[in-house]
Amino acid sequence: MYMDKRVEIKKLTNKEVVLEIEGEDHTIGNLIARLAQQVEGVKFAAYRIPHPLIPKLIVTIVTDGVKDPINVLREVLNNIVSMSRDFRTQLLEELRKYEERV
């Protein structure tokens, strides 16, 4: 079930962006950071959870300054959506094949 999340994006410099998401954990933080690390021009990408009892995720992306960190974040989020759609399509196809056999 989707619950409303408070999301805040802070562009600290022309090289650094911080994404804060309340109510999320390691799963999405790790995904965003790892995909950002694969983008050319990204010097640093990581996430942290400030305290285990506070459901808040903080992702930091730092670029070399050639690529805008907001554009990197946009690219990563678009890749996540694309990957999710592809995965959904594959799962539905496998489910269809399974149901034909049963």
Cα–Cα distances in angstroms (integers) from residue 55 to residues 16, 19, 25, 88, in the given order: 23, 14, 7, 27
Closest CA to 60 of 5, 4, 10: 10
pLDDT band at 82; cut points 50, 70, 90: very high
- pLDDT of 14 higher than 50: yes
pLDDT for position 78: 98
Domains of the chain with bracketed CATH: 7-101 (3.30.1360.10)
pLDDT band at 102; cut points 50, 70, 90: confident
pLDDT for position 2: 54
Please give the model's pTM, rounded to 2 decimal places.
0.86
pLDDT for position 1: 46
- pLDDT of 55 higher than 90: no
